[in-house]
Structure 1
Amino acid sequence: MPDTQSRRQFAKITAATAAAITFKPFYILHAKPKVDGEVIGHGTHRYKVHQGWGNLDSSKFPINNCHEMVQDSKGRLIMVGDEVKNNILIYDRSGKLLESWGHEFPGGHGLTLWNANGEEFLFICDPNIGKVFKTDLKGKILLTIEHPSKVGAYKEADAFKPTETAIGPDGTIYIADGYGSQWILRYNAKGEFMDKFGGPGDGDDQFSTAHGITIDHRDKANPSLLVTSRVHNAFKKFSLDGKYQSTLFLPGAFVCRPVVKDDTLYAGVCWSRLRYLNQTPNSGFVTIIDKSNKVISNPGGTKPEYKNGELQLMVQDKPIFMHCHDVCIDNDHNIYVCQWNAKKTYPVKLERV
Structure 2
Amino acid sequence: MKKCLRSIAVAVVCCLAVPVMAAEKVEPVRMGCGIMTFDTVPGWGFDEQGRSVLGPTHGGVVVDKEGNIYTSAKLGVFVFSPDGKVVRRFLGDEYSNIHDIEIRDEPEGEFIYGARNVAGEGIKFHAETGDIVLKLPFPKESGLNLKKFAPTAITVAPNGDIILSDGYASNYIFKFDKDGKYKSHFGKKGNGLKEFNTAHGMTLDTRYNPPRLLICDRNHQPKGRLVHYDLDGNYIEEVITGLGMPTSVAIQGDYVSVPDLHGRLVILDKTNTIVAVLGNNEDPKTHRNFNVPQDQWREGIFSGTHGSYWDKEGNLYVQDWNVSGRLMKLVRVK
TM-score tier by shorter-chain length is 0.7 to 0.9
Q: Alignment identity in percent?
A: 25
- Partner residue of 1:344? 324
SS of residue paired to 1:254: coil
1:25 aligns with: none
Q: Which of 92, 102, 105 in structure 1 is aligned with 2:91?
A: 102
Match of 2:271 among 269, 292, 316: 292
Per-residue CA deviations over 1:166-199 (Å, capped at 9, x if unaligned) read 0000001000111111011000011000110111
Which of residues 205, 210, 216 in structure 2 aligns to 1:222?
Answer: 210
1:124 is aligned with what amino acid? G
Quick check: 2:112–2:125 contact (8 Å CA) kept in 1?
A: yes
Task: State the alpha-carbon separation in 2 of the partners of residues 57 and 176 from structure 1.
Answer: 38
Whether contact under 8 Å (2:246, 2:259) holds in the other structure is: yes
Residue 176 of structure 2 is aligned to residue 197 of structure 1: no
Secondary structure class of the residue paired with 1:255: coil
Alpha-carbon distance, 1:301 to partner: 3.0
Secondary structure at the counterpart of residue 89 of structure 1: strand
Which of the pair is proportionally richer in helix?
1
The CA distance in 2 between the partners of 1:121 and 1:226, in whole Å, is 21
* Alpha-carbon displacement from aligned partner over 1:258-280 (angstroms, at most 9, x marks no partner): 11111111111112xxxxxxxxx
Counterpart code for 2:118: N
Q: Which amino acid aligns with 2:274?
A: V
Q: What is the aligned partner in structure 1 of residue 19 from structure 2?
A: none
Matches within 5 A, 1:227-242: 227-232=215-220, 233-242=224-233
TM-score (norm 2): 0.82
Written as runs of structure 1 = structure 2, the 5 A alignment for 1:2-17 is 6=1, 9=2
Alpha-carbon shift at residue 299 of structure 1 (Å): 1.0
1:332 counterpart (301, 305, 313):
313
Give the conservation status (yes or no) of the 8 Å contact 1:42–1:299. no
Q: Which runs of 5+ in 2 are unaligned?
A: 10-24, 282-286, 289-298
1:60 and 1:231 mapped to 2: Cα distance? 30
Q: Does the CA contact (< 8 Å) of 1:55 and 1:346 recur in 2?
A: no
Show CA shifts across 1:211-231 (max 9, x none).
Answer: 111111112x32111111011
The amino acid of 1:151's aligned partner reads: E
Structure 1 Cα separation of the partners of residues 48 and 147 of structure 2: 40
Equivalent runs, 1:106-125 vs 2, <5 Å: 106-117=96-107, 119-125=109-115
RMSD: 2.6
The alignment's TM-score, normalised by the length of structure 1, stands at 0.77
2: CA distance, partners of 1:57 / 1:207:
44
Aligned residue for 1:143? Answer: 134
2:73 to 75, 81, 86: 81
Counting only pairs closer than 5 Å after superposition, residues 181-330 of structure 1 correspond to structure 2 as 181-219=170-208, 221-232=209-220, 233-271=224-262, 284-301=263-280, 320-330=301-311
Q: Is the 8 A contact 2:46 2:52 kept in 1?
A: no
SS in 1 for 2:60: strand
- Cα 1:168–1:45 change in 2 (3 A) is same
1:57 deviates by 6.2
* Letter of the structure 1 residue corresponding to residue 169 of structure 2: G
Aligned to 1:65: 57
User: 1:351 offset after TM fit, Å?
Assistant: 1.0
Query: 3-state DSSP class of the match of 2:114?
Result: strand
Deviation at 1:42, TM superposition (A): 2.1
Q: In structure 1, the residue corresponding to 2:210 is in which secondary structure?
A: coil
Gaps of 5+ in 1: 1-5, 18-33, 272-283, 303-314
CA distance in 1, matches of 2:332, 2:108: 28
| Counterpart Cα distance in 1 of 2:26 and 2:52 | 27
